[in-house]
Every structure is written in C-alpha cells, then in structure tokens.
Amino acid sequence: MQKIKEKKLALAPCSGLSPYGLITRVACSDMVEKSDNIISICMGATSADREGFRGLIKKYPIIAVNGCEGSCVDKILEQRGVKAAKTINTIKVLNKENLKPTNVSRLDEEGEKSVEALKRKIKNMIDKGD
C-alpha cells in the first residue's frame, strides 16, 4: 500500500443519494479544484468497471470518502482489486462536529459547514501523510 503523501493522490467520494453523499462529493470536488496533486475517482464508473477507470484506480493512492457505515466506496474498490490507502466515514466526522446535513441535492448553511469540516479532515489526513 502506498503512502498518501506522494506527488498525486485520488479521492473517491461516496455516490449515494443522501445528504452525506452530497457532502462527500462537494468536499472532494473542492479539494480537487484547489490542488493539481489531487484527482477524483468516479465511483459510478468504477462500479460499472469502465475501461478508463481500471488503471486509474491502481495508479495513485486513494482516500475512500464513505458517506456512511455502509462503506460502499471501500467495497467497490475492493471488488476491483484495490485497497484504499485511507478511509473516512463522513457521518463519524460530522457527528464529532455536531453537524447533520439534511438535503440530498442542495447545500444549506449546515451543509456548507459540513463540507468545510470534511475538507479539514481530508486535508489533515493528507498533511500527516499516514
């Protein structure tokens, strides 16, 4: 397993249609937008075993950003022969911050706070490199 503090890494956000799935996608998208060293993995394409994603998921260390305890991101990656370098459970991160997003498709004030909390967690994980 590769360390996550290498030149490039990938974030694999939850694709679930829950408020937590939305938070993971927005937080990961924001992180990718701010860094040339971070890419995002499309879990739908990975799950569907699309050709271009077969090699991509094995090229960089991946942080799996699961929306809930179901850990679908980890499970999909494992089905494709990849183990995430690190895993985040968004519900646990947000529970520690007393945040509870409620909308599956729009970010309200609570949703924006949730995105910022998750981005801090991801950044901390990357900065520590472990």
Query: How many residues are recorded in the chain?
Result: 130
pLDDT of residue 94: 98
Q: Which two tokens stand for residue 91?
A: 């519900």
Residues of the chain with pLDDT under 50: 1-2
**What pLDDT does residue 115 have?**
98
Which residues on neighbouring strands pair with residue 87, listed in sequence order? 64
Task: Identify the structural domains of the chain with CATH numbers, from first to last.
Answer: 9-128 (3.40.50)
What pLDDT was estimated at residue 5?
Answer: 54
- Give the model confidence (pLDDT) of 74-100 as tens digits: 999 999 999 999 999 999 999 999 999
* Count of Cβ atoms closer than 10 Å to residue 81 Cβ: 9
**Cα–Cα distance measured from residue 128 to residue 130, given in angstroms and rounded to the nearest whole number:** 6
Strand intervals (E) in the chain: 9-13, 38-40, 62-66, 86-89
pLDDT, position 1: 38
